[in-house]
Chain A
Amino acid sequence: MNRGNQCWLMGAWLLLTSLFSSSAWAETQLNLTKGVTAVSREVYDLHMLVLYICTAIGIVVFGAMFWSMIFHRKSKGAKAADFHESTKVEILWTAIPIVILIAMAVPATSTLISMEDNDNSEVTIQITGSQWKWHYKYFDQDIEYYSVLSTPREQYENQNGSFAGNGAEKSEDYLLEVDRPLVIPANKKVRFLITSDDVIHSWWVPAFAVKQDANPGFINEAWTNVDLPGIYRGQCAELCGKDHGFMPIVVEVKSAADYDTWINEQNALTAQAADAELASLSASMSKDELMQLGESTYMAHCAACHQPTGLGLPPTFPALKGSAVAVQGSVADHISLVLNGKGMMPPFGKQLSLKEIAAVVTYERNAWGNDTGDLVQSSDVKAAGEE
C-alpha cells in the first residue's frame, strides 16, 4: 500500500472515530436552562409556552400542507378547485393570531416588568468588561479584582491542523473556568452595575437569565436573586474582538453565612496585599525571582495580545521582542506605558501590584533575546507612578 492510500485510510479512520466519540464529551443539553432564580424559571416557562404554541400552529399549518400534497396531487387525478378569495377567511386568520399574540404578550409583559425592577437590592457589585476579562468591585467593601480565563493555553492552542485526539486532554470546564469567580450570596437581591473599559461586552449567566451589555461610558443595571448555592457559568455574549470566545464568567453563589466569611477573608487579604505592597517597596528581588514572577504575570495579562513568544500579532498588537519600548527605550518610559496604557492597550496600574509590574517589565526587557540586563524593582514602579 502506498503512502497516499495510507493517508486516506488514516484520515477516514480518524474521522469515523471522532464522529462517534461523543461519550468523551460532557452531557449534551437540548433545551433552555431552567436556571436557579424566580425570573429564570418564569423565562423558561415563557419559552416553553411559545414553543408549544408554535408547535401547535406548525402541526395545523404543515398538516394542511401535507394533506393537500398527498391527496390533492394531479397524479391522483385531483382536479383544481377554483376558489381564490374569501374575505371571511382572511379576517379569521388575521384575528386568531392576534388573540394568540395577546395571550403571549400578557405573561411576557409581567415577567419583563419584574426583570427590570432593580430597586431594593441588598448587595451591589460593579461589573466592568475589558478586552478580555471581567472586573468585579463590591460596593461598600474594599474588594475588587479581575477574573480571567484559567484554562491553560496549551489546551486550546493546538494549531497543528489535526482533528483527532485532542479532546481528551481538555479540562472538564474547558473555556468556562476562571482564576477568581464572582462570589454572591444566595437568597439576596444582588444588583449589578455593568459597564466597560473599551468595546461593548455582554455579561451573561444563563442560569440567572441575566444578559446585559457592558457599554463603554455608560452603566447598565441588572439584578438576580439566586435560590441555590453553587457554581454557575456563562460567557461574554457580545463580539468584543480577538478573544471574545475566551472571557468566561463564573459565579459562585454562597449561603449567607459562607458569604460573610468570604467577605471577611477578602477584606483581610486586601489589607495584607496593601502591607505586601509597602514591604515590596523596600525589598529588592533577585533577577531569577523577577523573571519567574514576570513570566507568570506576562502569560496571564500580556500574552493574549503580545503572544507568549513576544512576537505580537502585528500590526494590531506590536511585537515586544527587539522592540523600541522594551529594548532601546528607557526603563521609565516602559514602566509608564504599562502603568497608563496607550491607545488599545489598557492601563495596568490598577490591575497589577507594584511587584508584578516591576517583574513583568524586567521580564519583557530580558526575555526572548531582549538581553538588556535591566532589573526593575517595586520602588522604581512607585517612583514612575508618582511622576
Chain B
Amino acid sequence: MTTETINESLDDTHNDDHHDHKMTGIKRWLYTTNHKDIGTLYLWFSFIMLLTGGALAMVIRAELFQPGLQIVEPDFFNQLTTVHGLIMVFGAIMPAFTGFANWMIPMMIGAPDMALPRMNNWSFWILPFAFAILLSSFFMESGAPNFGWTFYAPLSTTYSNGSTAFFVFAVHIMGVSSIMGAINIVVTIMNLRAPGMTYMKMPLFVWTFFITAYLLIAVMPVLAGVVTMLLTDTYFGTSFFDAAGGGDPVMFQHIFWFFGHPEVYIMILPAFGIVSTIIPAFARKKLFGYSSMVYATASIALLSFIVWAHHMFTTGMPLFGELFFMYCTMLIAVPTGVKVFNWVATMWRGSMTFEVPMLFSIAFVILFTIGGFSGLMLAMTPVDFQYHDTYFVVAHFHYVLVTGSLFSIYAGAYYWLPKWTGNMFNESLAKWHFWCSLISVNLLFFPMHFLGLAGMPRRIPDYALQFADFNKWVSIGGFAFGLSQLIFLAVVIKCIKGGEKAPAKPWDGAEGLEWTVPSPAPYHTFSTPPKVD
C-alpha cells in the first residue's frame, strides 16, 4: 500500500493552532473529546489496573510460595483470584486495546477523530467508577466477590457473599463502556476512511480492531444478560440456575462461555494487529499474505462463536456435543497457524533489526505459539478431562494473555511512544524491561504446565507436598515479573519528560499514515483527509 498526503505536515500544524482549544488542568481530561487524549486516558488507566491486578497476583503467589496457609485465609484467597482475573481481563487488557484503537485508528485511516467523540469521552469515564465499585467490595464486611472470574452459579448466587450486587453493577458498567467503545470503532472505520482507502487497503491493525469491535457488540450483551440473571437469582427469587426451581446451573456456563470464548479472541485479535504492524517494519519487508491474514482473522472470529463448550467438557455433555466442540476447537488451529506462518514468512529473508518493539513482537510470536500448542492439547476432549481446571489451563491462558496480549501491548507501546510523546525512549532501559520480563515470565508460567500435568487443581490456596518445588520457583518468577513492570513505568515517564527528539518516522521500515504526521502527533491530525492510492 502506498500512501501520499497533501502538504500534510505544514498545513496541519498551521491549522492546529487554530483548533487547539485545549482546556487546562483536570478539565482537559474530564471534558476531552479528543481521540488522542482519550487514548492516553485509556492507556494510563489500563496500566494502573495492570499494577493493581498484579499486586493481587503477587499476594496469591506469596501465599502459594510454600505449602500451608501462611498469609491469607482461603476465602480471601478466592477473592484475590476472582478480582485479579476480572481486573486483568476487563481493566488491563481490554482498555489498553481500546486506548490503542483511539490513538491509532483515526491516524491510520486518515480521520480527524473518532466518529462519536462525546460518546468516546463517556465510554472512558464510566470505567473508573466500575472498578472503584468492584474494588470497594474488598473493604465491605462481606468481602469482594469470591467465586472466580467465571462466577459459576450457584456459587455466585445462593452461596455468594453480600457483595454480588456490586459485582453485577460493576460488570454492567464495564459492558456498557465496551459496547460504546466498539460501536465507535465500527462507525469510525466504516465512515471516516480517507478517500482511496478501500477495506482491503486498510492496515491489518485496523482490520483486527474492526473485527474485534463486532465481536464485542455481539457478546457483551450476552454477558450483561447472564449477570442480570445472576442478580435476579440471588436477590429476586428467580431460578434460572437452580434445579429446585426448574433451572439448570450448567445453563449458566453455556451462556457465560458463549460470551467468554469470543471474549478470549477480543483480547488476542488486536494483538495480532499490532504484531502484524511491527514485524514488517523491522524486517523491512511487507507483511506476507495480507489478504490471507484478513480472512484468517475473520475465520477465527466466526469460529469463536461455535466452540464455547470446550470450557465445559466435564459438565456432563452428550457424546455428540463433545465431538462437535472438539472438532470445531481443533479447526481454530488452522487460521491461527496461517497467521503464525505468515509472520515467519514476513521475517524470512527480511533485513531484520531488533529494536524493543521487535523484541516484544518476536517473543509474542514464539510464546503465543506455545500457548496455542497447549490450546491444541486442551482441545482434545479425552485429554481435557485430565487437564481441565488444573494449572495446565492456568499456564495455557497466561501464555496467551500475558506473553500474548500483554507483550503485544508493550510492543505497540514502544513502537508508537515516539509518535505519542515526540521523544525517543531510553533503549537500554527498555531492553532491561524486555529481558527481565521475558526471563521472569517464563519462570512464572512455564512450570505451571508441569504442576497441572502432575495434578495440581487451580484456585486452591494450599497444595500437596509434591507440588512444592515448582510453586516456589513460580512464585519467584511472579515477583520478578511484577517488579519488572516498574521498569516500563520508568521508561514511559522518562520518555514523556524528555529524551532524544523523535523524527516523524523514527523506524525506517515503518509504513502507514501515522508516520506522515510530525512527532509528537499534533492535537488535531488529518483535519483535511489525505489521499491514499
* A81 in contact with B464 (CB, 8 Å): no
Assess whether B465 is interfacial by the CB under 8 Å rule.
yes
* A50 in contact with B380 (CB, 8 Å): yes
User: 6 closest A-B pairs (Cβ-Cβ)?
Assistant: A217-B243, A245-B460, A220-B316, A29-B454, A54-B373, A84-B286
- B322-364 to A contact mask, C-beta < 8 Å, 1/0: 1100110011011001101100111111111110000000100
Contact pick for B377, options A47, A90, A173, A209, CB 8 Å: A47
Please indicate the chain A residues that have their CB under 8 angstroms from the CB of B337 in the complex. 93-94, 97
A73-B65 contact in complex given A238-B152, A315-B142, C-beta closer than 8 Å? no
Assess whether B29 is interfacial by the CB under 8 Å rule.
no
* A113 in contact with B326 (CB, 8 Å): no
Please indicate the chain A residues that have their CB under 8 angstroms from the CB of B158 in the complex. 198, 344
- Distance A19 CA – B479 CA, assembled complex (angstroms): 14
* B349 in contact with A218 (CB, 8 Å): no
* B74 in contact with A242 (CB, 8 Å): yes
* B350 in contact with A104 (CB, 8 Å): no
Q: Give me 5 other A-B pairs in contact (C-beta within 8 A), A112-B381, A200-B152, A237-B388 excluded.
A: A108-B381, A159-B69, A215-B316, A246-B462, A315-B142
13 A–B contacts from the bound complex (CB under 8 Å): A61-B341, A62-B366, A93-B341, A108-B326, A108-B381, A109-B326, A167-B66, A174-B465, A209-B386, A218-B248, A235-B460, A315-B141, A315-B162
Contact pick for B316, options A78, A109, A172, A213, CB 8 Å: A213
- Distance A151 CA – B533 CA, assembled complex (angstroms): 73
Give B407 Cβ to nearest chain A Cβ, in Å: 15
Chain A residues within 8 Å of B, Cβ to Cβ: 18-19, 22, 25-33, 39, 42-43, 46-47, 50-51, 54, 57-58, 61-62, 64-65, 68-69, 72-75, 78-86, 89-90, 93-94, 97-98, 101, 104-105, 108-109, 111-113, 115-116, 131, 155-163, 166-167, 170, 172-176, 198-200, 202, 204, 206, 209-213, 215-218, 220-221, 234-246, 313-316, 344
Contact pick for A314, options B141, B333, B353, CB 8 Å: B141
Stretch with Cβ within 8 A of A (4 or more), from B186-194, B287-295, B487-495, B521-529: B287-295
* B349 in contact with A202 (CB, 8 Å): no
For B366, give the chain A residue with the smallest CB separation: A62
Contact pick for A112, options B319, B362, B386, B389, CB 8 Å: B319
Which residues between 383 and 418 of chain B lie within 8 Å of chain A, taking CB atoms?
Answer: 383, 385-386, 388-390
* B68 in contact with A155 (CB, 8 Å): yes
* A42 in contact with B382 (CB, 8 Å): yes
* A90 in contact with B250 (CB, 8 Å): no
Give A240 Cβ to nearest chain B Cβ, in Å: 7
Assess whether B428 is interfacial by the CB under 8 Å rule.
no
A46-B288 contact in complex given A113-B319, A161-B71, C-beta closer than 8 Å? no
A58-B369 contact in complex given A65-B347, A69-B352, A211-B314, C-beta closer than 8 Å? yes
Please indicate the chain B residues that have their CB under 8 angstroms from the CB of A33 in the complex. 454-455
Give B145 Cβ to nearest chain A Cβ, in Å: 12
Please indicate the chain B residues that have their CB under 8 angstroms from the CB of A83 in the complex. 288, 349
Please indicate the chain A residues that have their CB under 8 angstroms from the CB of B377 in the complex. 47, 50-51, 54
Assess whether B148 is interfacial by the CB under 8 Å rule.
yes
Please indicate the chain B residues that have their CB under 8 angstroms from the CB of A200 in the complex. 152, 154-155, 249
- Distance A161 CA – B461 CA, assembled complex (angstroms): 14
A62, A72, A162 interface centre (most CB from chain B within 10 Å)? A72
- Distance A204 CA – B389 CA, assembled complex (angstroms): 10
Please indicate the chain A residues that have their CB under 8 angstroms from the CB of B354 in the complex. 69, 73
Assess whether B75 is interfacial by the CB under 8 Å rule.
yes
Please indicate the chain A residues that have their CB under 8 angstroms from the CB of B73 in the complex. 159, 242, 313
- Distance A234 CA – B457 CA, assembled complex (angstroms): 9
Please indicate the chain A residues that have their CB under 8 angstroms from the CB of B331 in the complex. 101
Give A236 Cβ to nearest chain B Cβ, in Å: 7
- Distance A239 CA – B460 CA, assembled complex (angstroms): 8
For A236, give the chain B residue with the smallest CB separation: B457
Give B61 Cβ to nearest chain A Cβ, in Å: 12
Assess whether B431 is interfacial by the CB under 8 Å rule.
no
* B454 in contact with A30 (CB, 8 Å): yes
Question: What's the count of A-B pairs with C-beta under 8 Å?
Answer: 324
Number of B interface residues in the complex (CB < 8 A): 102
Which residues between 439 and 489 of chain B lie within 8 Å of chain A, taking CB atoms?
Answer: 450, 453-455, 457-466, 468-470, 472, 476
For B66, give the chain A residue with the smallest CB separation: A163
Please indicate the chain A residues that have their CB under 8 angstroms from the CB of B350 in the complex. 68, 72, 78, 80-81
A216-B249 contact in complex given A109-B323, A209-B386, A239-B148, C-beta closer than 8 Å? yes
Please indicate the chain B residues that have their CB under 8 angstroms from the CB of A109 in the complex. 323, 326
Please indicate the chain B residues that have their CB under 8 angstroms from the CB of A210 in the complex. 385
Contact pick for B454, options A28, A80, A82, CB 8 Å: A28
Assess whether B161 is interfacial by the CB under 8 Å rule.
yes
* A79 in contact with B351 (CB, 8 Å): yes
Please indicate the chain B residues that have their CB under 8 angstroms from the CB of A64 in the complex. 344, 348
- Distance A81 CA – B284 CA, assembled complex (angstroms): 9
Contact pick for A104, options B319, B330, B365, CB 8 Å: B330
* B353 in contact with A72 (CB, 8 Å): no
- Distance A166 CA – B142 CA, assembled complex (angstroms): 31
* B463 in contact with A50 (CB, 8 Å): no
- Distance A155 CA – B69 CA, assembled complex (angstroms): 9
Give B431 Cβ to nearest chain A Cβ, in Å: 16
* B159 in contact with A344 (CB, 8 Å): yes
Give B411 Cβ to nearest chain A Cβ, in Å: 16
Give A248 Cβ to nearest chain B Cβ, in Å: 8
A89, A93, A115 interface centre (most CB from chain B within 10 Å)? A93
* A158 in contact with B345 (CB, 8 Å): no
B354, B383, B462 interface centre (most CB from chain A within 10 Å)? B383
Please indicate the chain B residues that have their CB under 8 angstroms from the CB of A236 in the complex. 457
* A46 in contact with B314 (CB, 8 Å): no
* A65 in contact with B365 (CB, 8 Å): yes
* A218 in contact with B351 (CB, 8 Å): no
Assess whether B8 is interfacial by the CB under 8 Å rule.
no
Assess whether B26 is interfacial by the CB under 8 Å rule.
no
